[in-house]
Structure 1
Amino acid sequence: MIKTTLSVLISATLLSSVAQAEEISYSPMAGKDHPQQVFWGDTHLHTSYSFDAAMMGNKGLAPADAYRFARGEEIRAHNGMIAKLNRPLDFLMVSDHAEYLGLIPMVSAGNEEILSDPVGARWAELLNGGPDEQLKALLEMNIDIAKNHKSMVNASVERTAWDEITRAADEYNDPGKFTALIGYEWTTMPGGDNLHRVVMFADDASKAGQVIPFSAFDSEDPEDLWNYLQAYEEKTGGRVLAIPHNGNVSNGQMFALTDRKGQPLTRAYAETRSRWEPVAEVTQIKGDGETHPRLSPDDEFADFERWDKGNLTATAVKTDAMLPFEYARSALKLGLEQEAKLGVNPFKFGMIGSTDAHTSLSAVEENNFWGKFSLFEPSAKRGEIAGYTVGKQGKVYGLTIDESVASGYAAVWATENTREALFDAIKRKETYATTGPRISVRFFGGWDFATDEVDYPDYVSRGYAKGVPMGGDLTQAPTGQAPSFMAAASRDPEGANLDRVQIVKGWHDRNGSLQEKVFDIAWSDNRVADASGKLPAVGSTVDSDAATWTNSIGSAELSSVWSDPEFDPSERAFYYVRVLQIPTPRWTAYDEKHFDTQLNSDMPGAIQERAYTSPIWYTPSAEN
């Protein structure tokens, strides 16, 4: 009898414990699925399957080589050197041009079908000639794209190349360890103005292979590209998105307030664009695209690695009137204005960086920069090579290779390193851009973060529980209460200390004007702001001649909880974090040191690398 009673008591106790365990687990993360890890990658890389990459020296590094390099393997570059990443990437998307996709490798292989075409035979002859002949072929192909005219029509070329690209991605995709994303670049450039997008599939070859890439020869209008994306999802049940390039060589077209037909934007346009383009590229080899000093004159850090002379083909000079429609910060402000008019924000994008390298090598750290094209791989005088543009005919300005930027990478807060999880994170804009360093940044917005909340070890869980992460939305402002933001940044473990953390605010004021302001919210070295609120410079330890620096200044970590002191609940606004490193040597300084040479360059010997998070938006409710 006693034995039976004990048995019943033990069973009851166990059942009670199980019931309680179902309500509250001892494990802090039980029942939570928010991202705990940031993954690093490149969504914009070209291989020898891109016609311009092949014509500019990339003679044989195919998509498989790009994936091998990204996951940490050694690759022999075209200059004969062995190239290897300082640290492997977590993901890579090869994004070769849809236009003449895979053509040049097939020409080089002596493809009889191509050589039997008069145009193909001509390009083969030029390709087998010297640099001048190769440049002539490259120029002809670029003119085709700029004029939306396809000189050589051969669908089997694109089909064969796309099958090889998707097959390589599936082969190198290793869920949980390395993600190989399937994608390509839609390379429209009407009149030389860069409106390029990279197209990213969440799927494997069994779905992505059911279509072939939509190219600029099909249409130069982004709305037609979006229709293609819609048709793909309907046909395959898969998922796809597009990422606009850096807008700085679009001559005012990337974030224009008219469509390609010249008509003002509509609500339908805004809804469609915001659906298919959740993030935008804001930094890459062709310059930094966060903002411009003439757009942000009060921002002392606005003048960073500028490319602002003209459009992509160097055939039209830049004017100040174009700038607001090219840079991310200005576009985000314009989005608020359009939302007030249309009810939908067409430019509600998160931020990422990527390389746009055409070398098959995603290497953009300052001391490991392999350039834009294979012709510009490391050499004693590569920083003095003139004529970055595709040709001299009609050129109205020039760029030298030393103006190339060792940038950038995409950082993605995802639940795991898989195609599905990374795609989900990019769709929800839980992403940020860096100019190369692997700076870790967390950013949350809410209404009641305590001033010390970021100091708690579980501040990330608190951020998700009480607010929204980067890419999120704040609404329903409590009466008399301003939003508060938690920001925490850690230096690249193998990189430089941090100078400061800033919050950049943009808003659409009561009078219908667009405003912006930069707030320093955390900084190193016990500096004190002056009477105007300006923080003293962090200083510099850079020895440009020796290409060295030290972490004797700056901080390894910086964090803060900040509340907007100028918040108006009736005004639409966005907030994003910018993190600045202490100064470090620029890639040109590393070139001079490695090759024991002196470049004839006006570029600075030191720069302040940085990270830009996706914004958090505030939208007034009807009663505000």
Structure 2
Amino acid sequence: MNKNKNSLFLIGVFTGLLVAQAPVSAQHDGGTVPPGKVSELYPGKVYSPYANRAFPSQVYWGETHLHTGLSLDAGLFGNTTGHDTAYRLARGEQVVSSTGQPLKLSRPLDFLVITDHSDMMGIATDIQRGAPNVLAVPKGREWAEGFQTGGQAAADAAFDLIGNFSQGTISKELLEQYSPGADVYNNLWDEIVEKADSYNEPGRFTAFIGFEWTSVPKGFNLHRNVILRDNGDRASQVVPMTTLPPVGSTDPLDLYNWLENYESQTGGRALAIAHNGNLSNGWMFPVDKTYAGGRVNKDYVTLRAKWEPLYEVTQIKGDGEAHPDLSPDDEFADYGTWDVGNLDITELKEPEMLPREYAREALKQGLALEKKFGTNPYKFGMVGATDSHTSLSTAEEENFFGKSVSVEPSATRVEHPFVKSALGAFEGDMLLASGYQGIWATENTRKALFDAMERKETYATTGSRMAVRFFGGWDFDGDDLRSRQPAFVGYEKGVPMGGDLHTAPEGKSPTFMVYALRDPIGANLDRIQVVKGWMDKRGKLQEKVYDVVWSDGREIDENGKLPAVGNTVDLEAANWTNTIGASELMTIWEDPDFDANESAFYYVRVLEIPTPRWVLYDKVRLGANIPEHVELVHQERAYTSPIWYTP
């Protein structure tokens, strides 16, 4: 035993003796330790590290974007399951999919928001069962007969209805019945609210009440998922916001007005989460004018900052963190890239659209807009979700049930494009088994989880359930990592992900404490990176990706790059081994390029070692014929909410 270890050993024994010999009162009755006792050894604290603790100590897993057969498109494409199936699967039960396949998640989720499309909600299930009110309308009867015939007839009926919906040519009779205010629609909303309340079990499983506002003008995907904090007594006082006239609107400003009215009318709380912006063709994050002919002005930035605290950075329809053309020095920017065109590929993607579609660029543009208007409209936290239309929240590569019923597990599903037009296609292999959201909260309740989302103490993953902590402050040092509970000092000395740092102390740069622990049944970790964005003195927006801690003793090369971690994937067995990488990584990192006069943001990206994609599992399990160009291996990742620095 060397001298230092001897010293530590003796100190430990000495401390133990002090604790053992400290006087104690005869009776405490569960109260605090009397002054002059254990508190002398731990000034300002009590001995038990878990007592008197109010900060979030648990990460809860779930998602905020899932569709059932009540959604127009999901139901028309064959989803015959509903909210019961979605909740039961999320809670850890085995269910049966619309194609008759049994499935179960590897582990239950902690929370779920079912966000069926608010427009024409319920018409698909009524077409499926041939409801009398549908059959009474000629077009409705035509669609119902096509669905009952099945095969191509059902597909034709589905596309015809969706075409009528997108063009605004739905018959007046059906539109009136499946719009807010009509008995059919209002009764369905009441059933949705009651169902969420019935599955909500505080402390065990949280079922939020929500819906998707489905703005898609000219195929530009501007969807938002609306999440209510409240129980049914408040949610049932309203009906969802829709987009179709005469009562609906596709303008986000009108959605913000709906949210304002909801809170003032019910006394409740609500927020909106912007859909992954990669199919918006440049309209998700406007910087001067909006698609509706409006302007990005003081009113716009204030309302967006108030009502949209979160952004869906990854999901089945691609990953929206970064784009290789926008971040050419970032070797990991080209992950799950969907940049063919808008949602229905009626307009191809142009390079000038990309900066207004991706999270990292939007975070940078937010700094510029804040300087101009005094408010940052793109000061959002990160969430991941599936956007599955199968009622099945599956973001596990080996357990992936696809985007819609047509691509539930089969030997040929990789051959089915998500969208195909005369201009291009989103091919079937492009679908991602993504993603989930981690929320750091004090308990598993609607109140605690919603409040954590509002303060942006959340992060996104592409499906892995790795635990990630990220704190920023001015005084973190190496000693702060000498604990199995880094959050204790994290909250004491700094702010968590989603937080703010203000004017720097004289001569100091911000320090960050980051910690990641692998998914217990997942892959080891490759590295942790800090992504910084800032606006320099000339008003130019900048970014840089720093490798801050990594596994396996690698060294940065002469080009400033960290060599790849390696690859243990067995392509014949769809397997990998955790013989490379690390089970946990942690570090204290200080910004070496800090300028106290420049606004900045920092977020963490954690990368796992390479593992198989769902297409490789299909090849091995189902004998699927996978085209040569398809990527079989990827690196799962997590994106934390940023921490912002404002001079």
Fold match (TM-score > 0.5): yes
CA deviation string 1:509-528 (max 9, x = no partner): 11111100000001000001
* Structure 2 counterparts to residues 203-242 of structure 1, below 5 A: 203-217=230-244, 218-242=248-272
Instruction: Tell me the CA shift for residue 351 of structure 1.
Output: 0.1
How far 1:596 moved relative to its partner?
2.8
Q: Secondary structure at the match of 2:639?
A: strand
What is the distance in 2 between the residues matched to 1:600 and 1:429?
A: 40
Contact 1:145-1:189 within 8 A present in 2 as well:
no
- Decide which of 525, 530, 542 is 2:569's aligned counterpart: 542
TM-fit CA distance, 1:74: 0.8
Q: Distance in 2 between the 1:617 and 1:287 partners? A: 26
Q: 610, 614, 622: which one pairs with 1:583?
A: 610
- The answer on 1:44 being equivalent to 2:65 is yes
Q: Is the 8 A contact 2:472 2:495 kept in 1?
A: yes
Cα distance in 2 for partners of 1:166, 1:33 equals: 31
For 2:107, the aligned partner's letter is: R
Letter in 2 for 1:226: Y
Figure out how many residues of one structure are paired with residues of the other and give that number. Answer: 606
Partner residue of 2:584? Answer: 557
Does 2:518 match 1:497? no
**What is the SS of the residue equivalent to 2:113?**
strand
C-alpha distance in structure 2 between counterparts of 1:550 and 1:26, whole Å? 41
> Matched residue of 1:128: which SS?
helix
Instruction: For residues 473-508 of structure 1, give each alpha carbon's deviation from its aligned partner in whole angstroms, at most 9, with x where no partner exists.
Output: 000201111000000001000000000000000001
Q: Give aligned-pair identity as a percent.
A: 52
Counterpart position of 1:307:
338
CA contact (8 A) 1:498 1:557 kept: yes
The unaligned stretches of length 5 or more in structure 2 are 1-24
Alignment match, 1:3: none
Alpha-carbon distance in structure 1 between the residues aligned to 2:350 and 2:32: 73
The separation in 2 between residues aligned to 1:614 and 1:150, in whole angstroms, is 41
2:408 alignment counterpart = 377
The alpha carbon displacement at 1:138 in A equals 3.0
1:28 is displaced (CA, Å) by 2.8
Contact 1:148 1:220 in 2 (8 A): no
- Alpha carbons of structure 1 residues 260 and 316: separation in structure 2 relative to 1, 3 Å: closer
- Does the CA contact (< 8 Å) of 1:127 and 1:133 recur in 2? yes
CA distance in 1, matches of 2:33, 2:201: 40
Please point out which of 150, 153, 178 is paired with 2:176. Answer: 153
- CA distance in 2 between counterparts of 1:458 and 1:300 reads 32
Question: Pairwise mapping of residues 372-451 of structure 1 onto structure 2 (< 5 A)?
Answer: 372-386=403-417, 388-389=418-419, 392=421, 395-451=422-478
8 Å CA contact 1:381, 1:599 repeated in 2: no
2:100 counterpart of 1:80: yes
Report how far residue 260 of structure 1 moved.
3.8
Q: 1:321 to 1:79 in 2, by over 3 A?
A: same
- Alignment match, 1:25: 46
> CA 1:456–1:210 in 2, change beyond 3 Å: closer, same or farther?
same
Matched residue, 2:158: 138
CA drift at 1:305: 1.1
SS in structure 2 opposite 1:575? strand
Mapped to 2, the partners of 1:149 and 1:206 lie a distance apart of 35
Q: In structure 2, do the counterparts of structure 1 residues 113 and 19 end up closer, same or farther at CA, with 3 Å as the change threshold?
A: farther
| Structure 1: runs of 5+ lacking an equivalent | 1-9
SS across alignment from 1:184 = strand
1:242-267 alpha-carbon deviations (Å, 9 max, x no partner): 00010000000100112344343112
1:461 is matched with which residue?
488
* Conserved 8 A contact 2:283-2:290: no
Paired position in structure 2 for 1:54: 75
In structure 2, distance between residues paired with 1:406 and 1:189: 24
Q: Deviation digits for residues 330-387 of structure 1, max 9, x if unmatched?
A: 000000010111110010000000000001110111100000001101011211123x
**Contact 1:402/1:601, CA 8 A, preserved across alignment:** no
Write the distance in 2 (CA, Å) between the matches of 1:149 and 1:181: 33
1:264 aligned onto 2:291: no
Aligned to 1:528: 555
CA deviation map 1:2-37 (0-9, x unaligned) = xxxxxxxx9999999656799753333433311111
Amino acid at match of 1:480: G
Q: How does 1:148-187 map to 2 (within 5 A)?
A: 150-151=170-171, 152-154=175-177, 155-187=182-214
- Does structure 2 conserve the Cα–Cα contact (< 8 Å) formed by 1:148 and 1:219? no
1:570 to 575, 597, 603: 597
Structure 2 partner of 1:339:
370
Q: How many Å apart are 1:209 and its aligned residue? A: 1.2
1:318 aligns with 2:349: yes
What SS does structure 2 have at the residue aligned with 1:265?
A: coil
Contact map agreement 2:33 2:46 (CA 8 A) in 1: no
Cα distance change of structure 1 residues 309 and 58 upon mapping to structure 2, 3 Å threshold: same
> 1:113: how far off?
2.4
- For 2:568, the aligned partner's letter is T
Distance 1:146 1:339 in 2: 35
Q: 1 CA distance for matches of 2:33 and 2:441?
A: 33
1:358 corresponding residue in structure 2:
389
| Match among 123, 144, 147 for residue 124 of structure 1 | 144
